[in-house]
Each structure stands twice: as C-alpha cells, then as structure tokens.
Amino acid sequence: MGFRYPKGVRFECQRCARCCGDVLRKKRKILLLEAEVKQIARVTELRQEGFAIPLSGNSPYRYAMKKKGGKCVFLERSACKIYPIRPLICRTYPFSLERASSGHVFKASDDCPGIGLGDVVREEEFRRMFGEVRAALG
C-alpha cells in the first residue's frame, strides 16, 4: 500500500522539546498503544497507572501519556528518559500518518520549529517511517 508525503519539506530538530508537552495554543495528547504501555512499564519498572491514562475513542491508541506541568512525565530537561522505547507518535514526529480517501498521507506538524530548516526529508525516510507505523499498527 502506498503513501503520500509533503515533497521538498525540510526538517532539522532544534531539540526544543516542544513536542513533548503542551504549547501555548495546543494541548498535546501523547497517544500510546497498549503494547507500548506494557513495554514502558516493563523497562522502567513503573506501574502503568504512573504514566498512562486509559482513553476511549482513539483506536488503536488505548492510553495517553500523563503530563506533569504540561510536559510528558518522561521529559527530563530537554531529553526523553525513555528515548529507545519512546512511543510511535514520538518516533515519527513532526510527521504523522493520516488515512485519506486516496490512501495514507504524511502531514507535517505546524507546531515544530524544526520544519523548514535543514535538509529536505527524503522519500526513504518517509518509507522507513511508513514501515515502522505499519509494523506497529498492523
């Protein structure tokens, strides 16, 4: 199955951590799959109630990450404490894959100051993210 993506879009992460919490005009919902909650609980040895809030109506996502002071509970200064096992939506950010009538399409976030900077994001990178999303969501 194919996908479309924003051609010619540039991106270079500015390590500002805006994507790890609420910003002025938007509350960030950090969605989690059940498998991700289990993996994070196992690796961190935390109870899932300590970091995940059950959700309904966001299938296939079953939880949202807890936030403290508007920031993800795993954000420490500007670094992710669970980086190697961070959730799928954090892995593809600032892009998200959406379902459209004509297939799947990657959208770029308009909240990320890294969009428009650095090198053009190549098709291979979108292909890699697409594979990662499909592997996680089936």
Residues that bind ligand SF4 (CB under 6 A): 13-20, 30, 65, 72, 74-75, 80, 82, 86-87, 90, 93-94, 112-114
Q: What is the DSSP string of 17-72?
A: -GGGB-BTTB----EE-HHHHHHHHHHHT--GGGTEEE-SSSTT--EEE-EETTEE
User: Whole-number minimum distance, CB 7 to ligand SF4, in Å?
Assistant: 20
Nearer to ligand SF4, 103 or 116 (CB): 116
Nearer to ligand SF4, 28 or 130 (CB): 28
Chain centroid to CA 137: how far? Answer: 13
Nearer to ligand SF4, 86 or 133 (CB): 86
**Separation between Cα atoms, residue 112 and residue 129, nearest integer Å:** 18
User: Whole-number minimum distance, CB 3 to ligand SF4, in Å?
Assistant: 20
